[in-house]
Amino acid sequence: DTAVSQTPKYLVTQMGNDKSIKCEQNLGHDTMYWYKQDSKKFLKIMFSYNNKELIINETVPNRFSPKSPDKAHLNLHINSLELGDSAVYFCASSRGLEWQETQYFGPGTRLLVL
Amino acid sequence: GDSVTQMEGPVTLSEEAFLTINCTYTATGYPSLFWYVQYPGEGLQLLLKATKADDKGSNKGFEATYRKETTSFHLEKGSVQVSDSAVYFCALGGSNYKLTFGKGTLLTVNP
């Protein structure tokens, strides 16, 4: 059973296109996250949601828009893709917001913008 | 703000060698500390964690002790295996509801 799943696993697209990445967790967690990992493996949080409410919105271009239709899903829509958006995007979830909670990561979506 | 500094890699060891990956942190309050591991082509998974000072986290032969006096959480393993080859991330969970990650350390273990 996959705990945190993401689709698609790979995404190759042209500059200027709009694309979405979907994330689902079946752990019954209240909190979900999006991270971006660059080519040097540096990992940075983008957004977090708790019970469908936006909690963290880091300095991310407003071309990136998260949407949480329910507690089990957190999707990421990206408008007008740019070359610099090429990265691996990870979804994660945790039981709650408390800082001692373990986060469970999905397998990642490898986005390449040409 | 919160920050994590971990030793830069890559680290290359022979099988059965001793491993240390250093991690120090800066934080307000009393954070939780984590080590996550990322195997090639996969997402991150928790390796171990400690939620208060002097706690020792351990898993799969890896250990790390939360040292408040030196603000450190160094990862150690007495005898590494080829299957331990991965990227290791030190992370801090603080009062701002997010994990702050170090830059990651690539470990390669040769047979």
Token pair recorded at residue B43: 């997402």
- Residue (of A31, A6, A66, A92) closest to B91 by Cα position: A92
pLDDT digit string (tens) for A71-102?
999 999 999 999 999 999 999 999 988 877 89
pLDDT, position A7: 96
**CB within 8 Å: A99 and B94:** yes
Q: For residue B29, what pLDDT band results from cuts at 50, 70 and 90? A: confident
pLDDT digit string (tens) for A7-43?
999 999 999 999 999 999 999 999 999 999 999 889 9
Q: Tokens 């001793």 identify what position?
A: B18
**CB within 8 Å: A106 and B43:** yes
Strand partners, B43: none
Q: How would you classify the pairing of strands A10-13 and B11-14?
A: unpaired
Residue type, A41: K
**CB within 8 Å: A100 and B104:** no
Contact A31, A54 (CB under 8 A): no
The set of residues, in sequence order, having a beta carbon less than 8 Å from that of B68 and lying 6+ positions away, is B53, B54
Residue type, B49: K
The set of residues, in sequence order, having a beta carbon less than 8 Å from that of A62 and lying 6+ positions away, is none
The set of residues, in sequence order, having a beta carbon less than 8 Å from that of B111 and lying 6+ positions away, is B14, B15, B82
Q: Chain A contacts of B3, Cβ < 8 Å?
A: none
pLDDT, position A1: 64
Q: How far apart are CA B1 and CA B74, in angstroms?
A: 21
pLDDT digit string (tens) for A102-114?
999 999 999 999 9
Strand partners, A76: A21, A66
pLDDT, position A98: 82
Share of chain B above pLDDT 70, in %: 100
Is the predicted pLDDT of residue B3 greater than 80, yes or no?
yes
3-state secondary structure of A61: coil
pLDDT, position A56: 82
Q: How far apart are CA B29 and CA B44, in angstroms?
A: 26
Mean residue pLDDT across chain A:
93
Considering only the beta carbons, identify the residue of A42, A99, A105 that sits closest to B31. A99
| Chain A residues interacting with chain B (CB cutoff of 8 angstroms) | 4, 33, 40-45, 48, 55-56, 90, 92, 97, 99-108
Q: Chain B contacts of A51, Cβ < 8 Å?
A: none
Q: How far apart are CA A92 and CA A5, in angstroms?
A: 9
Q: How would you classify the pairing of strands A43-50 and B19-21?
A: unpaired
